[in-house]
Amino acid sequence: MSGAPLLSVENLSGGYGEIVVVNGFSLDLAGGEVACVTGRNGVGKSTLVRLVTGSLKPSSGRVVFRGRDLTAAPAHGRARQGMGYAPQEGVVFDNLTVAENLTLHHKDRSLERYGDLFTAFPRLSERLTQRAGTLSGGEKKILSFCRALAEDTVLVILDEPTEGVQPENIALMAEAIRRGKETGRAFLIVEQNLSLVEAVADAAYLLDHGECVYSTTERDGLRARLSERLQL
């Protein structure tokens, strides 16, 4: 990595009340890089993402984004700095239309910023006036994915983006991530689908009991190495 990282997570710890779920996690991510965090269920992956996005306050550590310490900044402040986020659950606003889900956080209601994504996921553009609550689980995930990838985000944080998504659409997601990388965007992806991790990751982190137990930037044989360590 050359120059200052876009995102620095420094010794981040936090959880719920007295319970520490993430303990001392660190990561540097530059523009155009993809970091994937994987691990078994319940090891703290989603909590880590919530600490980075500001949905949870950390007990210690720092989150520095675009050179600014945002550790104490609220979630909406981080989003306005260019942090896009697609959570694992509660991914869309069911009572809003698909179009409203994509535009409510922008000053204008233009959907032009989603042009490439609509080409990749045409079913979404066909359902713009439909309430998001009527979409299937996989379609909701795609809607959330597209919202996070709006062109004004510089860091995209995805929590289990492929859960419930059809394989052909997972391939399209991987392609969209690669295109995003080419435009200089960084991605922090929590994912258990090792096919996607292998397809897009520049760096991979394995989390267990809230701590990073393995990290690598070596892409060759990444899936096999992660799979082996996940089974230990």
Residue ranges binding other proteins (CB under 8 A): 53-55, 74-76, 79-80, 85, 87, 90-91, 93-96, 100, 103-105, 109, 147
Rounded to an integer, what distance in angstroms lies between the CA atom of residue 82 and that of residue 212? 26
Least distance between other proteins and beta carbon 98 (Å): 12
How would you list the strands of the sheet with 68-69, edge to edge? 19-29, 7-16, 60-65, 68-69
Task: Compute the CA torsion angle 139, 79, 155, 52 (nearest 10 deg).
Answer: -100
CB of 93 to other proteins, least distance (A): 5
Closer to other proteins at the Cβ: 100 or 211? 100
CB of 96 to other proteins, least distance (A): 6
Count of residues making up the chain: 232
Residue number, 159 or 198, with CB nearest to other proteins: 159
Q: 85 or 121: whose CB is closer to other proteins?
A: 85
**Under 8 Å between Cβ of 186 and 6:** yes
What's the closest the beta carbon of residue 87 comes to other proteins, in angstroms?
6
Rounded to the nearest angstrom, the gap between the alpha carbon of residue 35 and the centroid of all alpha carbons in its chain is 9
The crossing angle, in degrees rounded to 10, of helices 137-148 and 167-182 is 0
The position carrying tokens 């899936």 is 223
Closer to other proteins by CB, 87 or 180: give it. 87
Q: Least distance in Å: CB of 24 to other proteins?
A: 24
The residue among 147 and 181 lying less far from other proteins, judged by its C-beta, is 147
By DSSP bridging, strand 186-190 and strand 7-16 are: unpaired
In whole angstroms, the minimum distance from the beta carbon of 48 to other proteins comes to 14
60 vs 158: CA distance, rounded Å: 23
CB nearer to other proteins: give 16 or 213.
16
DSSP code of residue 230: H
The token duo for 157 is: 């944080």
Instruction: Name 147's bridge partners.
Output: none
